[in-house]
C-alpha cells in the first residue's frame, strides 16, 4: 500500500469498473442481501413484465410507463453503483498489497544449524516451521523472531520506508510476511499458514470480501424493512380506496409511489457507508478486523492510554541537579555526568547534556579516563562507572541508599536517619510529588544529591483530552509509576483518571470494572502482557510493531504504531454512525415532498365537481407540477438521482465535531432533517420543469 492515499471519489479508475459492477450486482443472490433494494428490483421486474404485456396487447400509456420503468431500474443500478464504487476504492489498495504477496522462496531450516536449510516455496510453509531470513530476503510468512536481530523494511504494509528493528525476545519479535530484511539475519518461527497471513487478511478486509453486517447495520435494516412494510400497506390499500372513490390507479403509478416512499436513499447507500467506514480507517493506516470494531469505536466511553509514548514523550529528561547540604551543584553535576558517560539510554544522555549546558562540564571520553562502565541491571537498579578504584553510581533512591549502607567505607553521615540521608530523601520526595523521577548519585560511598528526571508531556495532548471530554470520553492514564508521580503527570496532561503501578492484571481488572458499569473501553498496546487486556477491551488497538500475541488479541491494528490515533479511530467510528443516521433521516423526510407530488397526481380526477377539470385534491399540488404524469415521473427521477448525488457524502462520511451530543444532534437534524424536507420540493419542481420542457410527459 502506498502512502499516497488520495484516491479521489471521482477517479475514473474506480468509476468505470464500478459501472460494470453495478450491472453484475443485479444478480438476485447479491440483491437479496439488501432487502430494500431487493424489493425495488422485484417491483421493477413486475412493472417490466406488465409493460411487455401491454406492448403485445397494445394499450396503456406506453411512453410514460417505459420512462417510469427505466428510472425504477436506474434506482437499483445506482444503489449497486454506490456499493461498487465503495468496494472499488478498497480493491485499488488490495491490488497494491497483492504485489507484496509475490511468490517467495523460503529457507526452511532443517536443524539447529542455521547454515543447513533447503529452499521451498513460501506457500508450502506450515505453522511451527523455522526459516532463515537473511539480508535481501522477503520474509515468506508471518512469524516470530526466535533468534537474531535484523532491520526490516515494512513499507509493503505500512507505507513507511524507514526500516524497523526486529529481534528475538521482547515486544518487537513479530515479523510480517511480504516485508523485506535489509541487514543481518533472523531465524523465524512461522505463525500463520499460507492464505491466513496478515497480508491475506488485510487484502480481504480492504476488499470487503469478508464483510458481514454489523449489529447496528442489522438493527437499521430492520427499521428500513419495517418502514418498507408500512408503505406496502399504505400503497397496497390505495387501489381499493380509488375504486370506492370511482377512480382507477395503474400498477405503474402505484409502484412509482411505493418506490419513492420506501427508504431507497439510505437502503441504497447503507452498505457503501459501511465499506467506506472501514476504508477510511485503512487510509488512516489502521486495519479494523471487523466492522463491529469500527462501530464499537464510536461508542467508546473510556480510553485507556499508556503514559509512556502516548501522553509523555517516550523518555524522561534530566532537568535539574539537586545536591544535598555540603555539596555544590557543580560537584553533583560532574559526578552525575561521569556516571552517565557510557549510559546510552535517553535519560543518561539527557544528564550528560544538562551537565554540559548548565554547568559547562564537557563530556569526557571513557577510554582516556580508563573508566569501566557498570551497566544497569534489574537487581542493582543502578548504573555508573569505576575509575581507578573510585566508583560513581546513580540509580533509584532506595537502591543507592542500600548500596551506600553496604559500602564498608560508609561514613557516619550516610547511616539511615542521618541529616544527609534525611535531606536526600526530602529532595527525592519533593521531586516525586511534582511528578518527576529522582535519581540519587553517590561517589565512593558519599551521597551527593539527586538528579531530577522529568516526564515531558507531549505538546497539544492536553487539548486532545479536552476534546475527548467534550466527546463524552473519559481518559485513564496507565503507568508503572508510583501514584504520586502518576497524579502529577495526570494533572499536567489533563487526563480524567490514572492507574498507577499498573500490572497487566490491574489493567484487565480496570477494563472489566468499566465494562461492568456498562461502558465500552478502548485501549492500545503492543506487548505480550497487553494481550489479555487487548482481547478484553471492546476496541483493542494493537501496534504493528507489537508482538504476535498482541496483534492476535486486538481487533484493530495500527500500522503506524501511533497510540494517539485512538482519538481519530473514535471519530471515524462516530462519523460512520452519524452518516447512517443522517441519511436515514434525510431519506424519510424526503417522503413528505413525494407525497405532495404524487398524491394529487394520483387522485387528480376524483370527485371532480361539475364544470371543473380537476378534482379538489389538486389543491395539494403545492409545487404546481405541470401534469399528473410529469409529477410522478419527476418524483421517481428525483428519487433515483438523489442516490447518485449522495454517494460522495456516504463515502466521505458526515464529519464528527466534538460539540456535545445535543448540539451535534440538533445540527444534523437541521441539515438532514429539515434539509430532507425542503430539498425534494426544490428538486422535484426543477425536474418537473425539465421534463415538461423536453416534452417527456
Partner 1 sequence: MTLNGWIQILVYCGIVILLVKPLGGYMHRVFDGDRTLLSPLFGPLERGLYRVCGTSEREEQHWTTYAVALLLFNLAGFLVLYALQRLQGSLPYNPAGMTAVEPGLAFNTAASFMTNTNWQNYGGESTMSYLVQMAGLTVQNFVSAATGIAIAIALIRGFARASGKSIGNFWVDMTRSTLYLLLPFCVVLTLAYVWLGMPQTLGAYVNATTLEGAQQTIAVGPVASQVAIKMLGTNGGGFFNANAAHPFENPDAISNLIQMVSIFAIGAALTNVFGRMIGNQRQGWAILSAMGVMFIAGVAICYWAEAAGNPLVHALGIDGGNMEGKETRFGIALSALFAVITTAASCGAVNAMHGSFTALGGMIPIINMQLGEVIVGGVGAGLYGILMYIVVAVFVAGLMAGRTPEYLGKKIEAKEVKMAMLAILCLPLAMLIFTAIAVVLPTGVASMGNAGPHGFSEVLYAYTSAAANNGSAFGGLSGNTPWYNITIGIGMLMGRFLVIIPALAIAGSLVAKKTVPASAGTFPTDGPLFVGLLIGVILIVGGLTFFPALAVGPIIEHLAMAHGQTF
Alpha-carbon distance of 645 to 639, in angstroms, equals 10
> Binding residue per annotation — 530?
yes
Q: Which is nearer to partner 1, 100 or 604 (CB)?
A: 604
Beta carbons of 567 and 524 less than 8 angstroms apart: no
Q: Which stretch binds partner 1 (CB under 8 A): 13-21, 213-221, 390-398, 410-418?
A: 213-221
Q: Which stretch binds partner 1 (CB under 8 A): 190-198, 321-329, 432-440, 586-594?
A: 586-594
Among 361, 487, 617, 689, binds partner 1 (CB under 8 A): 617
Alpha-carbon distance of 596 to 625, in angstroms, equals 10
> Binding residue per annotation — 381?
yes
Among 64, 591, 625, 687, binds partner 1 (CB under 8 A): 591
- Answer yes or no whether residue 519 interacts with partner 1 by CB under 8 A: yes
Q: How far is the CB of 595 from partner 1 (least distance, A)?
A: 5
Closest CA to 126 of 199, 200, 194: 194
Among 94, 109, 261, 294, binds partner 1 (CB under 8 A): 261
- Answer yes or no whether residue 622 interacts with partner 1 by CB under 8 A: no
Q: How far is the CB of 681 from partner 1 (least distance, A)?
A: 15
Q: How far is the CB of 537 from partner 1 (least distance, A)?
A: 16
What is the DSSP-derived secondary structure letter of residue 138?
B
Ranges within 667-696 binding partner 1 (CB under 8 A) = 668-669, 672-673
Three-state DSSP at 429 gives helix
Q: What per-residue string of b and e applies to 465-502 under the rule 16 or more CB within 10 Å gives b?
A: beebeebebbbbbbbebeeebbbbbbebbbbeebbbeb
- Answer yes or no whether residue 466 interacts with partner 1 by CB under 8 A: no
Alpha-carbon distance of 420 to 403, in angstroms, equals 15
C-alpha cell of residue 424:
536526600
- Answer yes or no whether residue 220 interacts with partner 1 by CB under 8 A: yes
Q: What sign does the CA torsion over 49, 50, 53, 58 have?
A: negative
**Contact string 299-318 vs partner 1 (x = CB under 8 A):** x-x-----------------
Q: How far is the CB of 369 from partner 1 (least distance, A)?
A: 59
> Binding residue per annotation — 160?
no
Q: How far is the CB of 629 from partner 1 (least distance, A)?
A: 19
State residue 152 phi and psi, 5-degree precision: -125, 140
Among 62, 146, 223, 678, binds partner 1 (CB under 8 A): 223
Among 241, 416, 622, 652, binds partner 1 (CB under 8 A): 241
Q: What is the DSSP string of 489-500?
A: HHHHHT-SEEE-
Q: What per-residue string of b and e applies to 532-557 under the rule 16 or more CB within 10 Å gives b?
A: bbbbbbbbbbbbbbbbbbbbbbbbbb
Among 250, 337, 528, 585, binds partner 1 (CB under 8 A): 585
Grid cell 562540564 is found at 361
Beta carbons of 105 and 111 less than 8 angstroms apart: no
Q: What is the helix (H) or strand (E) element at residue 558, kind and residue range?
A: strand 556-558
Q: Which is nearer to partner 1, 148 or 676 (CB)?
A: 676
Q: How far is the CB of 5 from partner 1 (least distance, A)?
A: 23
Q: Which is nearer to partner 1, 212 or 390 (CB)?
A: 212
> Binding residue per annotation — 388?
no
Can you state the angle between helices 675-694 and 566-602, rounded to 10 degrees? 50
Closest CA to 340 of 318, 370, 315: 318
C-alpha cell of residue 402:
542500600
Three-state DSSP at 76 gives helix
Catalytic residue among 129, 137, 200, 306: 306
Q: Which is nearer to partner 1, 356 or 519 (CB)?
A: 519
Q: Which stretch binds partner 1 (CB under 8 A): 22-30, 219-227, 380-388, 483-491?
A: 219-227
How many residues bind to partner 1 according to rule CB under 8 A?
Answer: 77
**Contact string 62-91 vs partner 1 (x = CB under 8 A):** ------------------------------
Ranges within 644-663 binding partner 1 (CB under 8 A) = 656, 660-662
Q: How far is the CB of 301 from partner 1 (least distance, A)?
A: 6
- Answer yes or no whether residue 283 interacts with partner 1 by CB under 8 A: no
Q: How far is the CB of 252 from partner 1 (least distance, A)?
A: 17
Say whether 591 is catalytic. Answer: no
Q: How far is the CB of 670 from partner 1 (least distance, A)?
A: 11
- Answer yes or no whether residue 517 interacts with partner 1 by CB under 8 A: yes
Among 379, 516, 613, 624, binds partner 1 (CB under 8 A): 516
Q: What is the DSSP string of 621-679?
A: -TT--S-HHHHHHHHHHHHHHHHHHHHHHHHH-PPP--S-HHHHHHHHIIIIIIHHHHH
Among 453, 589, 625, 647, binds partner 1 (CB under 8 A): 589
| End-to-end CA, the chain | 51
Residues forming beta bridges with residue 183, ordered by sequence position: 151
**Contact string 542-581 vs partner 1 (x = CB under 8 A):** -------------------------------xxx-xx-xx
What stretches of 156-275 adopt beta strand conformation (E)?
Answer: 164-167, 174-175, 180-190
Residues forming beta bridges with residue 449, ordered by sequence position: 323, 441
> Binding residue per annotation — 198?
no
Q: Which is nearer to partner 1, 143 or 581 (CB)?
A: 581
Among 77, 108, 588, 640, binds partner 1 (CB under 8 A): 588
Q: How far is the CB of 54 from partner 1 (least distance, A)?
A: 24
Q: What is the DSSP string of 12-33?
A: HHHHHHHHHHHHHTTSHHHHTT
Q: Which is nearer to partner 1, 260 or 437 (CB)?
A: 260
Ranges within 400-459 binding partner 1 (CB under 8 A) = none
Alpha-carbon distance of 190 to 172, in angstroms, equals 15
Closest CA to 467 of 563, 576, 567: 567
- Answer yes or no whether residue 240 interacts with partner 1 by CB under 8 A: yes
> Binding residue per annotation — 394?
yes
Ranges within 471-490 binding partner 1 (CB under 8 A) = 471-474
Q: What contacts 504, CB < 8 A, 6 or more positions away?
A: 529, 530, 532, 533
Query: 459: burial class by Cβ within 10 Å (0-12, 13-18, 19+)?
Result: exposed
Q: Across the chain, how many H-helices and E-strands are there? A: 25, 20
Q: Which stretch binds partner 1 (CB under 8 A): 57-65, 115-123, 598-606, 634-642?
A: 598-606
Among 64, 198, 498, 603, binds partner 1 (CB under 8 A): 603
> Binding residue per annotation — 343?
yes
Q: Which is nearer to partner 1, 143 or 573 (CB)?
A: 573
* Binding-site residues for ATP: 343, 347, 376-383, 394
| Residues classed as catalytic | 306
* Binding-site residues: 343, 347, 376-383, 394, 526, 530
* Binding-site residues for Mg(2+): 526, 530
Amino acid at each position: 500500500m502506498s502512502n499516497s492515499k488520495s484516491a479521489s471519489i471521482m477517479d475514473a479508475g474506480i468509476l468505470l469498473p464500478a459501472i460494470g459492477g453495478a450491472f453484475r450486482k443485479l444478480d438476485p443472490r447479491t440483491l437479496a442481501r439488501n432487502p430494500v433494494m431487493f424489493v425495488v428490483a422485484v417491483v421493477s421486474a413486475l412493472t417490466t413484465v406488465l409493460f411487455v404485456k401491454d406492448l403485445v396487447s397494445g394499450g396503456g400509456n406506453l411512453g410514460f410507463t417505459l420512462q417510469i420503468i427505466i428510472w425504477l431500474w436506474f434506482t437499483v443500478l445506482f444503489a449497486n453503483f454506490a456499493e461498487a464504487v465503495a468496494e472499488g476504492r478498497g480493491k485499488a489498495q488490495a491490488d497494491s498489497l497483492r504485489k507484496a504477496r509475490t511468490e517467495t522462496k523460503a529457507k526452511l531450516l532443517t536443524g539447529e544449524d542455521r547454515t543447513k536449510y533447503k529452499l521451498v516455496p513460501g506457500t508450502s510453509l506450515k505453522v511451527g516451521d523455522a526459516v532463515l531470513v537473511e539480508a535481501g530476503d522477503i520474509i515468506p510468512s508471518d512469524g516470530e523472531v526466535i533468534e537474531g536481530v535484523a532491520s526490516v523494511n515494512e513499507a509493503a504494509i505500512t507505507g513507511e520506508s524507514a526500516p524497523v528493528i526486529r529481534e528475538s525476545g521482547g515486544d518487537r519479535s513479530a515479523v510480517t510476511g511480504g516485508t523485506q530484511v535489509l541487514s543481518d539475519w533472523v531465524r523465524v518461527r512461522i505463525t500463520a499458514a499460507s492464505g491466513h497471513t496478515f497480508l491475506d487478511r488485510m487484502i480481504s478486509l480492504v476488499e470487503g470480501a469478508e464483510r458481514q453486517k454489523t449489529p447496528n447495520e442489522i438493527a437499521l435494516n430492520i427499521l428500513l424493512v419495517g418502514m418498507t412494510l408500512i408503505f406496502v400497506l399504505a400503497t397496497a390499500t390505495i387501489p381499493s380506496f380509488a375504486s370506492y372513490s370511482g377512480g382507477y390507479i395503474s400498477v405503474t403509478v402505484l409502484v412509482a409511489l411505493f418506490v419513492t416512499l420506501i427508504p431507497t436513499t439510505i437502503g441504497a447507500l447503507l452498505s457503501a457507508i459501511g465499506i467506506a467506514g472501514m476504508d477510511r480507517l485503512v487510509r488512516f493506516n489502521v486495519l479494523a478486523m471487523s466492522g463491529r470494531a469500527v462501530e464499537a469505536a464510536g461508542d467508546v466511553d473510556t480510553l485507556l492510554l499508556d503514559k509512556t509514548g502516548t501522553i509523555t514523550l517516550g523518555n524522561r529528561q534530566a532537568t535539574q541537579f539537586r545536591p544535598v547540604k555540603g555539596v555544590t551543584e557543580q560537584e553533583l553535576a560532574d559526578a552525575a555526568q561521569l556516571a552517565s558517560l557510557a549510559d546510552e539510554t535517553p535519560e543518561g544522555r539527557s544528564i550528560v547534556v544538562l551537565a554540559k549546558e548548565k554547568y559547562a562540564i564537557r563530556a569526557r571520553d571513557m577510554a582516556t579516563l580508563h573508566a569501566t562502565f557498570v551497566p544497569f541491571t534489574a537487581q542493582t537498579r543502578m548504573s555508573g562507572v569505576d575509575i581507578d578504584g573510585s566508583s560513581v553510581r546513580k540509580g533509584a533512591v532506595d537502591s543507592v541508599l542500600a548500596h551506600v549502607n553496604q559500602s564498608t567505607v560508609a561514613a557516619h553521615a550516610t547511616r539511615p536517619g542521618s541529616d544527609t540521608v534525611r535531606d536526600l530523601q526530602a529532595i527525592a520526595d519533593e521531586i516525586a510529588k511534582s511528578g518527576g523521577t529522582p535519581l540519587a548519585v553517590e561517589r565512593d560511598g558519599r551521597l551527593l544529591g539527586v538528579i531530577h528526571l522529568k516526564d515531558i508531556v507531549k505538546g497539544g495532548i492536553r487539548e486532545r483530552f479536552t476534546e475527548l471530554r467534550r466527546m463524552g470520553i473519559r481518559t485513564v492514564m496507565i503507568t508503572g509509576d508510583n501514584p504520586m508521580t502518576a497524579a502529577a503527570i495526570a494533572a499536567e496532561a489533563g487526563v480524567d483518571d490514572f492507574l498507577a503501578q499498573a500490572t497487566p492484571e490491574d489493567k484487565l481488572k480496570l477494563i472489566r470494572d468499566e465494562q461492568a458499569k456498562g461502558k465500552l473501553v478502548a485501549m492500545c498496546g503492543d506487548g505480550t502482557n497487553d494481550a489479555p487486556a487487548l482481547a478484553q477491551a471492546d476496541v483493542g488497538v494493537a501496534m504493528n510493531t507489537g508482538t504476535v500475541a498482541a496483534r492476535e488479541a486486538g481487533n484493530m491494528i495500527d500500522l503506524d504504531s501511533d497510540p494517539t490515533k485512538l482519538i481519530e479511530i473514535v471519530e471515524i467510528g462516530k462519523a460512520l454512525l452519524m452518516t447512517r443516521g443522517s441519511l436515514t433521516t434525510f431519506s424519510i423526510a424526503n417522503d413528505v415532498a413525494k407525497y405532495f407530488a404524487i398524491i394529487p397526481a394520483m387522485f387528480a380526477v376524483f370527485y371532480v365537481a361539475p364544470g371543473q377539470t380537476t378534482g379538489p385534491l389538486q389543491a395539494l399540488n403545492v409545487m404546481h407540477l405541470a401534469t399528473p404524469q410529469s409529477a410522478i415521473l419527476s418524483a421517481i427521477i428525483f428519487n433515483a438521482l438523489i442516490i447518485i448525488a449522495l454517494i460522495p457524502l456516504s463515502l466521505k462520511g458526515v464529519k464528527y465535531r466534538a460539540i456535545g451530543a445535543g448540539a451535534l444532534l440538533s445540527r444534523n437534524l437541521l441539515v438532514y432533517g429539515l434539509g430532507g424536507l425542503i430539498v425534494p420540493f426544490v428538486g422535484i419542481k426543477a425536474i418537473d420543469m425539465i421534463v415538461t420542457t423536453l416534452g417527456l410527459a
